[in-house]
Amino acid sequence: MKKLLLVVLFVSLLGVLAACSSSNALPEWRDGETFTLRVGATPRPHTEILEYIRPYLLADGVVLDLHLFTEFPLVNPALADGDIDANYFQHSPFLEASPHADQLHMLGLVHVEPMGAYSLTLDSINDLPYGATVAIPNDATNHGRALLLLQTHGLLTIDPAAGIRASYTSDITDNPLNLQFTALDASILPRILDDPAVDMAIINTNHVLAGTDLNPMRDSLIIETPDSPFANGLTVREEDRNHPAVRLLLQHLQSERVRQFIYRQYDGAVVPVF
């Protein structure tokens, strides 16, 4: 009986240890030690803002280990799986649409990048021809966001029930210019501007800044207003939302020095929201 009890206790202990070892929660940060924080981000402006605060974080004991991603769909899985400790690249609707949404938490908002429409052949949105081909992002939230931008400027009517989840295949109720759509990964949309088969592309500002010489405020045909609800923020795993290292990272991201850096660096194409 004693042997059986010992076996049961041993198996139970192994189960506890396995559960602990499989957790991706951040370890305790001990006084007097530095803490390495692995943060995933997409290119401009996210990586530039993180690089800017790197020395200030280090002065407070946090070493920033920056992981660069060029594709949106890869970042939240990396965070959920424990490959990184936080990410800075997305807005709340994108997070809410993620299959990992129940594991992750938007800790705080930092900036908004107004989405805009661009063309290398059109000088004005009024020049958009009947039957024009418009390239838009293919991820669920930015796809609907692009369609809503067109609706704001009277180019489409979207079924109100669809909202941010609107799809060009099912939710357009009026399309007076008979616009034709092609949905592509957001990261390649800047390159599609060179395609003669595409009249206009609707592109996230971070991809415009990273992949073109265009200035969103000067070169967009139409653009969201700065009060857009799609502000980007810092995301962590649910169990790490109160960890002092990620709280310190958010404090630096929402600092006055970062506010002034954004104003200086991006000339209105990126707007702080804190």
Domains belonging to the chain, first-starting first, are: 32-114+230-272 (3.40.190.10), 116-223 (3.40.190.10)
| Strand-pair partners of 166 | none
Q: Please report the pLDDT score of residue 167 as a whole number.
A: 96
Q: What is the pLDDT along the chain (274 residues), one digit of tens a residue?
A: 444 444 433 434 444 334 443 478 999 999 899 999 999 999 999 999 999 999 999 999 999 999 999 999 999 999 999 999 999 999 999 999 999 999 999 999 999 999 999 999 999 999 999 999 999 999 988 999 999 999 999 999 999 999 888 999 999 999 999 999 999 999 999 999 999 999 999 999 989 998 899 999 999 999 998 778 899 999 999 999 999 999 999 999 999 999 999 999 998 889 999 9
Angle (CA) 257 258 262, round 5°: 120
Q: Please report the pLDDT score of residue 1 as a whole number.
A: 46
Q: Nearest to residue 169, comparing CAs of 198, 199, 140, 149?
A: 140
Q: What is the pLDDT of residues 160-169, one digit of tens each?
A: 999 888 999 9
Reported as half-sphere exposure (CB side, CA atoms, 13 A), residue 270 has a value of 27
Residues in the chain: 274
